[in-house]
């Protein structure tokens, strides 16, 4: 497939699903997991200062593919301006399934994704819808000043 056709296909079908593995994950319940898998999709380019990242977590039962409609030119998040990270919540069917789970566990997994996988020390912002909004509020409590 030529590069032009690939770019058109990527624009039509969105960014591909990716995964990161978080080792030795400790949940708020005190339980631990040797490995937790977290799904995500990215749009745009992370700038050299790593200061243009915006995190957009999913709602209850939502998946990152559902959030793609909010990313694009003249939409909520413009990938020409921001490095957009759509993240699948733990237990949503894409990321690792967990029985005992809290919003803080989701936020902790996202924090580790950002710091360990992307090397991001501070976000431009966190936004969310429904449970994603609850996660954005927990970000302010769990990691004040990070976003």
pLDDT band at 11 (very low <50, low <70, confident <90, very high): very low
Residues 6+ apart with CB under 8 A from 34: 23, 24
Tens-digit pLDDT profile for residues 49-71 = 999 999 999 999 999 999 999 99
Structure confidence at residue 114 (pLDDT): 98
Least Cα distance to 139 among 126, 129, 130, 128 occurs for: 126
Position 7 scores a pLDDT of: 42
pLDDT at 9: 42
pTM of the model: 0.89
Condensed to tens digits (0 to 9), the pLDDT of residues 120-140 reads 999 999 999 999 999 999 999
> Taking the mean position of all CA atoms in its chain, how far away is CA 103?
14
Per-residue pLDDT at 120:
98
């Amino acid at each position: 497939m030529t590069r032009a056709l690939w770019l058109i296909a990527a624009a039509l079908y969105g960014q591909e699903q990716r995964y990161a593995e978080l080792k030795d994950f400790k949940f708020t319940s005190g339980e631990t997991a040797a490995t937790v898998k977290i799904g995500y999709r990215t749009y745009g380019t992370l700038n050299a200062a790593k200061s243009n990242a915006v995190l957009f977590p999913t709602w209850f039962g939502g998946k990152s593919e559902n959030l793609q409609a909010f990313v694009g030119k003249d939409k909520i998040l413009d990938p020409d301006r921001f490095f957009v990270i759509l993240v699948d919540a733990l237990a949503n069917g894409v990321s690792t399934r967990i029985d005992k789970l809290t919003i803080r566990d989701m936020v902790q997994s996202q924090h580790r994704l950002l710091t360990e996988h992307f090397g991001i020390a501070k976000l431009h912002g966190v936004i969310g819808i429904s449970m994603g909004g609850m996660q954005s509020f927990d970000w302010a409590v769990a990691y004040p000043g990070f976003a």
